[in-house]
Amino acid sequence: MELTQLDYFLSVARLQHMTKASELHSISQPALSHAIAKLEQELGVPLFDRRGRNMQVSRYGRMFAARVERALRELEYGKQEIEEWVNSDSGVISLSYLNILGVELIPSLIRDYQAEYPKVRFDLNQGDYEDIGMLLDHGVSDVMITSKETATASDHLYEWLTFRTMPLYIVVPAGHRFAKASSLSLAELAGEPFVGMLKNCGLQKSLETRLQHTGLKISPAYEVEDLISVAGFIAAGLGMSVLPKTFGLTLEGLVWLPIQEEGWQWEIGLKWKKGHYLSPATKKFVDYIGQLTAASS
């Protein structure tokens, strides 16, 4: 059963005339008759009572026509829905992002983008690094904004576009003995109570690799779920850590000390799967991020 057969059938049912229906579809009458006969053969019932070239819809034809009209209407709605989703100026962008980025970066990014493309909508998901990574891998999200991990074996499966680079700081509570320092070396972390993050945090993975390269061995006194919890533990005087100075983390009672060693930065970017279909709306958003990156470099 083919869509063209169903379309032909409805036309004949409406016009009740084979010649008029063939003219409507710009096909020969024998071809139209053959398509209708093949459909009837497949269904096993006559759809029309034939009276020369006039075709009166049978009882079975009326039953089938009602279902076919509904099915074709749903298909048309589906086609329109897809067109609306992928339209570059009014489509939907499926985006996932790290929880902490929802405090400032993501809202301001969406605000600025919709100022230029007000009809575009966003389908948003947020979570920790592993959560949003799964959404990307399973096709729930087309792109995600996240922190850059250290090099992994799966890097060749993804595209990466750096969006923002933030300096990392050693963060101590206000009453700490280092609180009045103008900057601090990572070596000072040795022996200090450290507030770390669980393995599902992208920043934690990067910090572990970086600290290994320095030869420092740090045993966290606490391991918490997210960056805001790290900041909270430090503000309570329970330890120190390494954090980016971003919205949502600048709590009262924290002192942010520049790291004396070079290269300690937190890289935020756009990530998507290589070879994965990106709609025109999503492609335009990726291009927009690329233009922002180029303008700030």
CATH of the domain at 279: 3.40.190.10
Three-class DSSP category at 96: strand
> Does residue 87 or residue 142 have the better pLDDT?
142
Instruction: Give the CA distances from residue 139 to residues 92, 94, 269, 275, 278, in Å, rounded to whole numbers and listed in that order.
Output: 14, 9, 18, 12, 11
Instruction: Using the predicted structure, report yes or no on whether residue 151 has a pLDDT greater than 60.
Output: no
Total of domains in the chain:
3
Confirm whether 235 is domain-assigned.
yes
Instruction: Using the predicted structure, report yes or no on whether residue 149 has a pLDDT greater than 70.
Output: no
Q: How confident is the model over 87-93, as a mean pLDDT?
A: 88
Residue 282: predicted pLDDT: 93
Per-residue confidence at 259, pLDDT binned at 50, 70, 90?
very high
Largest CA distance in the chain: 102
203 and 259 part of one domain: yes
- Under a CB-based contact definition with an 8 Å cutoff, are residues 149 and 202 in contact? yes
Put simply, whether the predicted model's pTM sits higher than 0.85 gets the answer no
- Condensed to tens digits (0 to 9), the pLDDT of residues 241-251 reads 999 988 788 88
Residue 79: predicted pLDDT: 83
Instruction: Using the predicted structure, report yes or no on whether residue 207 has a pLDDT greater than 70.
Output: yes
Residue 200: predicted pLDDT: 62
131 and 251 part of one domain: no
Closest CA to 182 of 256, 240, 262: 256
Lowest-pLDDT choice from 6-10, 47-51, 150-154, 276-280: 150-154
129 and 213 part of one domain: no
Confirm whether 202 is domain-assigned.
yes
Per-residue confidence at 153, pLDDT binned at 50, 70, 90?
low
Residue 283: predicted pLDDT: 93
Q: Which two tokens stand for residue 64?
A: 């089938």
Torsion of CA 214, 219, 221, 225, to 10 degrees: 70
7 and 138 part of one domain: no
Instruction: Give the CA distances from residue 66 to residues 13, 62, 71, 77, 278, in Å, rounded to whole numbers and listed in that order.
Output: 11, 6, 9, 17, 37
Residue 273: predicted pLDDT: 93
> Does residue 218 or residue 179 have the better pLDDT?
179
Which residue range forms the structural domain that includes residue 285?
92-163+274-296
> Does residue 214 or residue 114 have the better pLDDT?
114
Confirm whether 82 is domain-assigned.
no
Residue type, 18: M
Altogether, the residues listed in the chain come to a count of 297
Instruction: Report angle CA 224, 230, 231 to the nearest 5 degrees.
Output: 160
Residue 168: predicted pLDDT: 93
Gap between the Cα atoms of 255 and 222, Å rounded: 19
- Condensed to tens digits (0 to 9), the pLDDT of residues 108-117 reads 999 999 999 9
